[in-house]
A and B are shown apart, each in its own frame.
Chain A
Amino acid sequence: MKELINWVADPIRSFPIVCILFYFMMKYYRVVGTKKFLGWSLLFTIPVSIWFAADPNFFTIITLPDNIPIIILIVLVGFLQWFTFYKAALNDNRLDQGLGPIEGLPENREKVWCWPNLVYTELFMIIAGTCFLVVWAILFKAPLEEPANPTWAPNPAKAPWYFLGLQEMLVYFDPWMAGVILPGVVVVGLIAIPYIDTNPKGNGYYTIAERPIAMWGFLFGWLVLWLYLIMVGTFLRGPNWTFYGPFEYWDFHKVVAEYNVNLSEFLWIKWLNTPMPENMFVREFLGIILSLAYMLVLPPLMGMCSYGKKMIEGVGQMRFYIFVVLFLLMMSLPIKMVLRWLFALKYIVALPELELNL
């Protein structure tokens, strides 16, 4: 059983599984968002978690003091994600019947005094937050390792947990993409959301049915590309950033045969059976054309299909193309992951002469 879980946990298998789970969760959110579903999943999750934690190798990783916050985050996100589905399902069922959202009911629109209603809630939260921090601080000592030694690097050298999604992207992209461009796209994309999403519905209440594109896009990025990759980077990456199953001992001598091939090597050597051309742009022309087409030709094509036309009518050309470009940049990560797993593809464009590898 543990062997099987170790085998499944490899991103090659767990990433598609997570994507499929995400699809069904979003599609059947009204089923997910019921108290019955929460009950059954807790009944399943709690014993499984205990069984996971009982394993000495997994226990060592999750009880590292610096990993405790991720456990807290996972539990909170799990519950709150269910909770938003629960609230959204209640509202969406009402909206189907032509009723307004619960947040808009007259008794919820009623105005209440800030003192005592809000001020007391805040006071309670301050006290609860203080207690929580003090208890956490007493239970877990802040770690301190050996003094800084610039001549000896620990293996693996991991960034803080909230950056491990970015560090995990380094498996698939060079640092200029994984560390600079894609994080920049995340920040710019987040700021752009309110200016792209002109859907007036779902402002100030929980709903999923009324804003499907926003929900699918954001939650895929948040749950799958951000949180899942953080979990992989934290729990499943050991020395040399090699994959280790949750129940696997971090053996420093684990050797993984990995030989990744560039697209240009596929083209010239494998398919055309000729030596690689001298000129680097000729050598990489296929990858360059494909990458340019992905960013420059695909958006207009998407704008010409019937769904794209409908969206352009709704939000206008400018918003549509900004959305599509941001979306394609986001999807470049899962695309690169899948290409790596299916074809052991290293770079689509490999121009080490310019430090430009894609």
Chain B
Amino acid sequence: MAAKGLADKVRETQVWKSIFRHGPPDNARNRAAVVAGNVFLHLHPIKLKKSGVQLGYTWCMGGLTFFIFLALTVSGVLLMFYYRPTAEYAFNDIVALREHVPLGIMREIHRWGAHAMVITTWLHMFRVFMTGSYKPPREFNWGVGVILLVLTLLLSFTGYLLPWDQLAIWAITVGANMAKATPFLGHGGPGASLARIGDFVMVSDKNDVRFQLLAGRFVGEPALLRFYILHCVFIPLVVGTLIAVHFWRVRKDGGISAPL
């Protein structure tokens, strides 16, 4: 009784009222206000079909993917305080992180979170396919989702290099050698040997797509810097933008799918 009295008192203070501009969400008006008036909640519809909130229908995998993306952003920013992307420091910084930060689990959260995000993205797509939710009017948003899936894998791929250990450089070497085989654009790919004028070779290992990816002919320090910037800045910005488009279109295309 006393606690309830105290809660009511808090709700009447000027501070509380300045933050939450509506009463407790226990009636229709306030339930609408709490969702519409909050920047983090306003992407939700105020009311939605019951099947759209049933876990058996949605699996919550898209939401979990977004949650893990945020968890990865937070843990990633914390890791950036300890990490320098140079061949001299990268590996030693990870070792130092492991040995000198008591109870540190941020690298673990970041690594396992990255794996988990790949899994939840796939399962989200699996669910969306099984419920036919890509069908009109949601065709475009399915395409945005596929791009987000590719970007998720690229985020994982670029992040794989950063510890600068044996696993890192050789996994990236395997991947980058695929780029070498791109038709016409990689120096080991079909058609590249045709692209020459006399003695002048147009596609060589000094200018093909693998060179652009690695900033060199092998996985070296320039590749580390390039992957670091792609991983920490460029791809997250693109992903963040596309997530906004993806969520916006979920709303604009009629919310979570349901029988027509």
Residues of chain A touching chain B, judged by Cβ–Cβ distance below 8 Å, are 66, 68-69, 72-73, 76-77, 80, 83-84, 87-88, 100-101, 103-104, 107-119, 121-122, 125-126, 129-130, 132-134, 136-138, 140-150, 152-154, 157-163, 166-167, 174-176, 178-181, 187, 190-191, 193-195, 197, 199-207, 211, 214, 218, 222, 351, 353-356
Contacts and interface: CB of A to CB of B under 8 A. Distances in A.
B49 interface: yes
A129 B178 CA distance: 35
Chain B contact-residue range equals 35 or more
B23 interface: no
Dominant SS at the A interface?
Answer: helix
Contacts of B111: 142
B105 A204 contact: no
A31 B134 CA distance: 27
Interface stretch (B7-15, B53-61, B229-237, B240-248): B53-61
Contacts of A207: 132
Contacts of A119: 35, 41, 44
B142 A191 contact: yes
Contacts of A354: 190-191, 193-194
A204 B258 contact: yes
15 contacts: A73-B122, A83-B56, A116-B31, A136-B112, A180-B179, A180-B182, A200-B136, A203-B133, A204-B133, A204-B258, A218-B129, A222-B126, A353-B193, A355-B192, A356-B191
A103 B57 CA distance: 8
A118 B48 contact: yes
Contacts of A149: 166, 169
A125 B67 contact: yes
A160 B167 CA distance: 9
A31 to B, nearest CB: 18
Interface in B26-66: 28, 31, 34-35, 41, 44-57, 59-60, 63-64
Contacts of B258: 103-104, 108-109, 204-205
Contacts of A83: 56
A153 B219 CA distance: 12
Given A103-B51, A111-B48, 6 more contacts: A108-B54, A114-B41, A121-B55, A133-B71, A143-B167, A149-B166
B126 A80 contact: yes
Contact of B139 (A138, A154, A195, A204): A195
Contacts of A141: 98, 108
A103 B95 contact: no
Contact of A110 (B49, B135, B169): B49
Nearest to B142: A194
* Most chain A CB neighbours (cut-off 10 Å) among B115, B118, B143, B259: B259
Interface in B118-132: 118-119, 122-123, 125-127, 129-132
Contacts of B105: 134, 137-138
A80 B59 contact: yes
A174 B123 contact: no
Contact of B31 (A113, A147, A190, A191): A113
